[in-house]
A = this chain, B = another copy of it.
């Protein structure tokens, strides 16, 4: 449910318009220097503000409430909380009877008998990724500086060039529409031997985390779906030296679920955000008839932009847990 991991284990909580979003992380080795400042860089990458992102602007200041003593981790659970400040609940008061298309409004209401906090998606909000981002910072500390992440929103609505991306964002913004994208994360220096046989492979562990990020609808490693077009003789990555270096990297750095020392390559498909400003068809559960829904509030044109650091965090979490299990 809301916890994940075998040794490096996170439990998260919170709602979009509740008191706070938080995460408690178990299994953090003792003795790692850590302060609130360490979170700034990644939180800034996730923060709204750039072109294509929401006008809701939480400061997102992390507060470490356990697990730190004299500036280093203690080995006890490390807990980080973010208070919610800039929530405008009134914007969401109709969602109970009129669920937003492609949102969790309907499924959450069914699952929880209508008791879910529907404001801003409640627990199903993208705001929960704050907790993932924070945990990712801790995970990277565990992995150490030799594990290097290079993550970007490689595609927006299918466009690779930043000029075209900028143009399509502007047009969608004007139209009150949203855009999908693909986040790509490349990881160097993770070494060989990470990953456990069968169910806890690198791919399984990472995909489990990645698909828990709202809006992720596809995950692929290495050549992924395009790799199915190749023949084995074109696809196979030949080992060229005793370190396991390969001449190509169609497998994205993972064989049999275990890292082979080459660059880990993962791509995540981020669907266009469901909250568009254009009127849409939905069903009025109070009236028992179809109705038009007009979403208001402040939303992202392209969440794939802000999702990049979250995808990176998920990969860091997966690798940190697998490293601690070795």
Chain A residues engaging chain B, CB cutoff 8 angstroms? 1-4, 6-7, 9, 11-15, 18-22, 24, 26-27, 30-31, 64-67, 69, 72-79, 81, 99, 101-104, 106-108, 110-113, 115-117, 119, 121-124, 128, 155, 157-158, 172, 175, 177-182, 192-193, 195-201, 203-205, 207-212, 214, 216-225, 227-233, 235-242, 244, 246-247, 250-252, 254-260, 269-276, 278, 280-283, 285, 288, 290, 304, 325
Contact = CB atoms under 8 A, between A and B. Distances in A.
Given A4-B199, A236-B101, A238-B282, A179 B107 contact: no
- Copy count, this protein chain: 4
Contact of A217 (B66, B229, B251): B251
Contact of A207 (B3, B219, B225, B244): B219
A2 B117 contact: no
Contacts of A285: 242
11 contacts: A3-B11, A15-B69, A18-B66, A102-B235, A108-B256, A177-B231, A225-B225, A228-B304, A232-B276, A235-B272, A239-B281
Given A27-B1, A103-B255, A223-B217, A111 B193 contact: yes
B75 A116 contact: yes
